[in-house]
Amino acid sequence: MSTEIKELKFTTFKTNIKYSVINKRVHNIDGLAKVTGRATYTFDVKLPNMLYGKILRSPHPHARIVNIDASKALAMPGVIAVATGKDTPGVKQGIWRRYPELCDEQILPLEKVRYIGEPVAAVAAVTEEIAEKALELIDVEYEVLPPVFQPLDAIRKDAPIIHEGVERNINVTRHIEWGDVDDAFAEAEKDGYIREDWFRTSSQHHMCMETRAAVSSFTPDGKLTVYCSTQSPYYMQALLAGVLDMREGDIRVIAHYVGGGFGGKFELDAAIFCSAVLSKKTFRPVKIVFTREEDFIASKRRTPMHYYIRTAMKKDGTFLAREVRVFTNGGAYTGMGATALYLTGFFCSFPYKWRGYRYDGYRVYTNTLPSTAMRGFGAPQAMFCSEQQIEWMCADLGLDPYEVRRKNAHTECYEVPGQAYIQSCGMTQCIDKIEAWAKSKGNLGPNRAIGVSAAGFMSGGIFNWFDTPYSFSSAVVVINYDGKVDLYVGCQEIGQGSNTTMAIICAETLGVKIEDINVYSGDTAHSPADLGAWGSRQTLMAGNAVKMAAEDAKRQLLEFAYAEMGLNIVYDLDIKDRWVHVIARPERGMKYEDLVKRAIRGKDGQRIIGRGYYTPHRKGMISPAYSYMMQAVDAEIDPETGKITLHEVMTAHDCGQPINPLGLIGQLEGAASMALGFGYLEDQPMDEGKILNPNLVDYKVIRATEMPKTDMIEIDTYEAEGPYGAKEAGEGLTNPTAAALGNAIFHALGFQMKELPITPEKIVNALKEKKEKQGK
């Protein structure tokens, strides 16, 4: 029996409200600090009496630590302390706190090292140079163990065991299933079309411009302050408390300016942990900054995946079922990789309706740099495979790929059976717009074509494997006597513009100007707990919390306005552009500043304080809302050299109500540059577990001269769950690009790229192969 696709009866609606602040072009509120060099990053922090730390790293991919002798290093003048695993509570930590078996990483391990670059000891000295020299004086005796580097080797019975008790090195498995998959495949076997393909996606490094950095300061009263480059101060506070055996409230984490994150900075890293341990030993501030090489070899990376997809469709292009099997190279530890395993499996179904869908994912430990979250969080890998296969199936059957995508696309009020409730959805409109755009370009000439890919993404995760006892997002709004508003949020600004987005939402809700809002974020001492910047969660979750807090404060203000103005009870009041007024007669009113003064007098001098919070409920398994998009890449390939020239990237995008248009364009363009890099440039080749390109000479990222023109068509939708109808924008835009590039190459040259990145070498080889086949 096949599962019927259930159309839910939600009401999605559009509003004709004219906003004062939302969707207006405003300067980023951190902009002035950033264009004048005033923004102070962890990299710039210098505290009195500060020491400098350096980390000794394992040269072996897999070895038992027999003994560490630091006596010579300690004897060196200028060296103040050395820390090894023995100086720590020895706690194995991880971000999946609900699952102790997935908390498997002990920074400064006591027993074993599991990848090249893993920290084994840390030195604090009066200068960085002395700390670096002291590393050479630490004797570590290793018993080298046999390593394994590839997931398909690591699952073999005779493979070395990386974590005791973990059979076949299988770290996490994930199964997602709905509908009757076998029944649908049987139907396709009779009278339909089935295709199966294997793909391999590569590693990608976050390559944040600011490398991992921390300054920790532990004082004799038992309190620890940590400046660090992180996407989630709250996570760092909670994780540090766990590994240092301290109370969360005794740890203050500060991250005012963060030089990029992209998914790489919300796990506890060695810069943060080792600086804290050394500071606890010395009672002095300790600063650790990773070199670029350390960042490449010993932070984390995008999860490389082996993908198998079998897809069944009717001959008219109606999708029937899909079966997906994925083995991911998890590297040495779990981290956020477990989430990537889940999300890649879910998003490989996106953005289409399937009668049956089955996914089995296996995350496999290897003796390599651990893999984790990176912008798109498993979805770019899924789309690279899925959207190319769909394109090939359409070509196999002679079907119009736009029509096939439209026919199967998610629509509003759709339930992904047992998984997700889709409310707003502009997928069809996105396809229409891109189709019209691509067709308007006409024939582009030889070796050049437009490739497209659809995609969607979540607006924050519903899951709570971190086991936080707090609301996912919280906000506090304080209105002062002069009408200025202090907004306290725990959502984290990492360059994506969340401070500005929250200020816009707060100003719109209160009816004031954006310059009336002071945002206080990035400091656990005053910011309420919030899970931080990952999974595209902040605009929706923190945005809802801010809206609620501002509404709470506004309600308190308006109580005084009603009393003051003596209106008939049927009249409603509102505030817009600092003018408190009767909605039906906007000229009747009073100044916001005057109302604030009276309200505070009326409250016996108390400032007006509004509180808001958000935790998703009853929204399925994945996310409260989903963005949709289709992207087109116009690419030209030199058939001699395989060199790709990118002419244009065009995106039709449904992010609900845009909040900050300048930020949105920035997210689109930034995502395109990072995702194009994933498509044809970036990789971390290894030899016996050693990364061969740990520097910016050999690790190529897109530069200004390679970046194509980018443009965007916004699709007008309203998301009922989001603040003012908004949903995610920015991370999801990383998802379609590599697939669209692959499809452009398919249409330009006629062959199928199943491995990332699509380098000139691979293109030349594929061309050679094609010629040989034609010759035969």
Q: 292 or 647: whose CB is closer to other proteins?
A: 292
As measured in angstroms, the least distance from the Cβ of 514 to other proteins is: 14
| Contact status: 421 vs other proteins (CB under 8 A) | no
| Contact status: 695 vs other proteins (CB under 8 A) | yes
| Contact status: 497 vs other proteins (CB under 8 A) | yes
| Contact status: 645 vs other proteins (CB under 8 A) | no
Binding region for other proteins (CB under 8 A) out of 27-35, 299-307, 414-422, 480-488:
27-35
Taking CB under 8 A as the criterion, the residue among 15, 40, 173, 606 binding other proteins is 40
In the numeric block, the tokens 């630091």 are attached to: 70
Three-state secondary structure string covering 19-66: CCCCCCCCCCCCHHHHHCCCCCEHHHCCCCCCEEEEEEECCCCCEEEE
Binding region for other proteins (CB under 8 A) out of 204-212, 305-313, 573-581, 598-606:
204-212
How many chain residues are in contact with other proteins, going by CB under 8 A?
55
Binding mask 647-686 for other proteins (x = CB under 8 A): ---------------xx-xx--xxxxxx------------
What is the length of the chain?
776
DSSP 212-233: SEEEEEEETTTEEEEEE--S-H
As measured in angstroms, the least distance from the Cβ of 533 to other proteins is: 11
Rounded CA separation 42/217 (Å): 13
Q: 43 or 562: whose CB is closer to other proteins?
A: 43
DSSP 576-590: ETTEEEESSSTTSEE
In the numeric block, the tokens 């990145």 are attached to: 757
| Contact status: 709 vs other proteins (CB under 8 A) | yes
Q: 3-state class of 275 per DSSP?
A: helix
Q: 3-state class of 352 per DSSP?
A: strand
As measured in angstroms, the least distance from the Cβ of 644 to other proteins is: 16
Among the listed residues 571, 590, 600, 614, the one whose alpha carbon sits nearest the alpha carbon of residue 511: 590
Taking CB under 8 A as the criterion, the residue among 140, 246, 258, 485 binding other proteins is 258
| Contact status: 271 vs other proteins (CB under 8 A) | no
Sequence-ordered strand ranges (E) for 127-267: 139-144, 170-178, 192-201, 213-219, 223-228, 251-254
Residues 404/602, Cβ–Cβ less than 8 Å: no
| Contact status: 293 vs other proteins (CB under 8 A) | yes
Among the listed residues 227, 533, 198, 235, the one whose alpha carbon sits nearest the alpha carbon of residue 373: 533
Question: What are the contacts of 166-170 at 24+ separation with CB within 8 A?
Answer: 166/365, 169/364, 169/365, 169/366, 170/362, 170/363, 170/364, 170/365
Q: 3-state class of 209 per DSSP?
A: coil
As measured in angstroms, the least distance from the Cβ of 692 to other proteins is: 15
Q: 112 or 265: whose CB is closer to other proteins?
A: 265
Q: 34 or 156: whose CB is closer to other proteins?
A: 34
Taking CB under 8 A as the criterion, the residue among 52, 185, 262, 414 binding other proteins is 262
| Contact status: 380 vs other proteins (CB under 8 A) | no
Q: 224 or 740: whose CB is closer to other proteins?
A: 740
Rounded CA separation 136/150 (Å): 31
Among the listed residues 711, 632, 667, the one whose alpha carbon sits nearest the alpha carbon of residue 405: 632
Binding region for other proteins (CB under 8 A) out of 288-296, 308-316, 503-511, 758-766:
288-296
Binding region for other proteins (CB under 8 A) out of 39-47, 131-139, 317-325, 362-370:
39-47
Q: 17 or 209: whose CB is closer to other proteins?
A: 209
| Contact status: 496 vs other proteins (CB under 8 A) | yes
Q: Which residues bind other proteins (CB under 8 A)?
A: 27-28, 30-41, 43-44, 207-211, 257-262, 291-293, 494-497, 662-663, 665-666, 669-674, 695-697, 701-705, 707, 709-710
